[in-house]
C-alpha cells in the first residue's frame, strides 16, 4: 500500500485488502476491454465489485458515443452508482485494465471508491502513481488504496496488439 491512509473516509478493512481474488476480477475487466475492442475502441475495461458481486461494468466508448468522458472507469462508475442508487461507492473496488487518467482518478476520488486495482501503467496519462498520484493526494478529503500490476502483461498486450493492428491498416 502507498501513502498515509489516516484520513480515509470510508469503512474499508485495510487488513482485508489483500484477501480478494484480484486476478479473477481483473479477468472480468479484461472481458469488458474485449467488448471495446470489438467495436474498434481502445480496449480498456473496468468493473466495480462490492461484496464479491459486480455492480458496475464499463468499457471505452469514446469513439462510439463521441464523448471524451466515456472512459471505461466513468461508464462503470455511472453503472455502479445507478445500481446502488447512490453516488458514494463505499465498500467497493474498481478493477481497470489501464491506470486511470486525471479525469478518471478525480471521479474515483469524488465517488469515494476505497480501492483501485489496475493492470498496466499509463506512461502518458497515468494518475495513480506514474505521472502523479491523485488518488493519494493528501490535500483531498478522500484517498484510495492502489494495487497495480495485476495481470499486467495481459492488460498491456491487449493495448499493444490493438495499436499494432491500427498502425498496420
Residues identified as active-site: 73
In degrees rounded to 5, what are phi and psi of residue 47?
Answer: -135, 150
Which residues, 6+ apart, have CB-to-CB distance to 25 below 8 Å?
A: 47, 49, 54, 93, 95, 117
Burial class (CB in 10 A: 0-12, 13-18, 19+), 148: middle
Q: CA 54, CA 7: separation in Å to the nearest integer?
A: 27
* 37-43 contact pairs (CB < 8 A, 24+): 37/158, 37/162, 39/63, 39/64, 42/159, 42/162, 43/97, 43/158, 43/159, 43/162
Query: In the sheet that 115-120 helps form, which strands lie side by side, from edge to edge?
Result: 53-59, 45-50, 93-98, 115-120, 145-147
Amino acid at each position: 500500500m502507498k501513502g498515509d491512509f489516516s484520513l480515509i473516509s470510508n469503512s474499508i478493512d485495510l487488513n482485508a485488502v489483500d484477501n480478494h481474488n484480484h486476478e479473477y476480477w481483473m479477468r472480468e475487466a479484461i472481458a469488458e476491454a474485449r467488448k471495446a475492442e470489438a467495436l474498434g475502441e481502445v480496449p480498456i475495461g473496468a468493473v466495480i465489485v462490492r461484496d464479491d458481486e459486480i455492480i458496475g461494468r464499463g468499457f471505452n466508448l469514446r469513439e462510439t458515443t463521441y464523448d471524451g468522458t466515456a472512459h471505461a472507469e466513468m461508464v462503470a462508475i455511472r453503472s455502479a452508482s445507478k445500481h446502488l442508487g447512490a453516488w458514494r461507492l463505499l465498500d467497493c473496488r474498481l478493477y481497470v485494465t489501464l491506470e486511470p487518467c486525471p479525469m478518471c482518478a478525480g471521479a474515483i476520488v469524488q465517488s469515494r471508491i476505497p480501492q483501485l486495482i489496475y493492470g498496466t501503467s499509463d506512461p502518458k496519462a497515468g494518475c495513480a502513481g506514474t505521472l502523479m498520484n491523485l488518488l493519494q493526494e493528501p490535500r483531498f478529503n478522500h484517498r484510495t488504496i492502489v494495487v497495480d500490476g495485476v495481470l499486467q502483461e495481459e492488460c498491456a498486450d491487449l493495448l499493444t496488439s490493438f495499436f499494432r493492428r491500427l498502425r498496420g491498416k
